[in-house]
Structure 1
Amino acid sequence: MKPIRLLPVLAGAALLSGCISFGEDPPESLLSLTPATSANAGSGTTATRESALALVEFEAPQRLDVTRVPVQITDSSVAYVENAVWVEKPARLFRRLIAETIRAGSGRVVIDGDDPGAMAATRLHGTLRDFGFDARTGEAVVAIDMTRSGDGSQVTTRRFEARIPGVVPEAGPVGIALNQGANQVAGEIAAWVNAS
């Protein structure tokens, strides 16, 4: 008797499953940024308030404040690379990559994020300008404006940019090129910060 009672329930569930959608199929893989240099496991350092560096949350325009990779088609037209999806928003990924690059290259205490308990005199802020593919030139483009502020009233700004040519507008090649460009820019930012 029990198998007969379950039959209508199972039939109803089968019919209902055809009506329920849990969203689009996920992409085969997600894109991330991997630092070219990393601090060694177990490494650590101490710092004074004056020598510590804090990276606060980066900003990004709406076209970059998503997990998709933008394609600049014309000066006023943007699309997105098919199946190219970041594991999280690129401004966060890039901030962590820069923090790790500075940490690995200098041994400096780098606080990644806006931790109110961390009193670092020097703060680094970024505004992402480009982090995608330019269809007009066939390049992956990484561009960011950085602002460094310290004690007192001194503020320094600088724009950094990397262009990786000859990129095919597909998820895999674009992801690899953007990782390369991001590491190039992170190295330049680290040199700029450590020179001060």
Structure 2
Amino acid sequence: MSPMLRLAAPIALAISLTACAGLLGGGGKAPPWLLTLTPQSPAPDSIARTAKAGEAVMIELPLVPKEIRTNRVPVHSGPIAIAYVQDLTWVDTPDKLFQDLLTETVTRVTNRVVLDPKQSSLDPGMTITGSLSRFGYDAQEGMVVVRYDAAKTRAGANAVETRRFEARESADGTAASVAPAINAAANRVAIDVAQWVGN
């Protein structure tokens, strides 16, 4: 290996590690573990489905406010104060985690064919869009709150259906209690949305 390549390799490694640290919370040491959302609906033994034209479902990435567009969990204390739960870091941002959870839950709970938005050319069918406006801990209530305002449209239809879904779970503000509570609340919302989609 040439002297130049020997010098470049450690520099490239250092840059990549610094970038990873930034993604995991920025600046400080990497967290001991990362959290994700886990579907709680029973998984069918096998999935083999066929959808007629216009029957497939696509679930778009939800819109999120700035305090949720991070891999940390916000703590709301009053109408304007926001902090973050200590030692609690998601493996990805909540909008992507919730989209994945909702996609899997609709697949498990309904008999519908669920397509990735990148597959929209296959069958526009039904599209679910929405806004994930709350996905964190409310310190005044001592509750985790997950709120999803959904919109359901069908290809060629002249109407849009909207509905708000919300779930709350008790927690004490620590990572050990907030993590399972937010997973449970997100699953309750996902199941309610799946039942709405299946109708």
Question: Normalization by structure 2: what TM-score?
Answer: 0.82
Aligned length: 177
Aligned match of 1:155 in 134, 154, 160?
160
Offset of 1:61 from its aligned partner? Answer: 0.7
Q: Percent identity?
A: 34
* 1:99-153 deviation line (CA, Å, top 9, x unaligned): 1111111121011334343323210002101000000110000001000001222
Mapped partners of 1:99, 1:92: distance in 2: 11
Contact preservation (8 Å) 1:102, 1:108: yes
Contact preservation (8 Å) 2:62, 2:131: yes
Higher-Rg structure is: 1
2:117 matched residue in structure 1: 113
Contact preservation (8 Å) 1:56, 1:123: yes
Offset of 1:57 from its aligned partner? Answer: 1.8
The two structures, once aligned, show a CA RMSD in angstroms of 2.1
Mapped partners of 1:97, 1:157: distance in 2: 20
Matches within 5 A, 1:75-86: 75-86=79-90
Contact preservation (8 Å) 2:98, 2:186: yes
Question: Normalization by structure 1: what TM-score?
Answer: 0.83
Q: Which runs of 5+ in 2 are unaligned?
A: 1-13, 22-26
Query: Mean alpha-carbon deviation: is it higher for 35-44 or for 54-63?
Result: 35-44
1:164 matched residue in structure 2: 169
Mapped partners of 1:88, 1:41: distance in 2: 28
Offset of 1:26 from its aligned partner? Answer: 1.1
Matches within 5 A, 1:108-147: 108-147=112-151
Mapped partners of 2:129, 2:44: distance in 1: 25
Q: Which runs of 5+ in 1 are unaligned?
A: 1-16
Mapped partners of 2:53, 2:43: distance in 1: 21
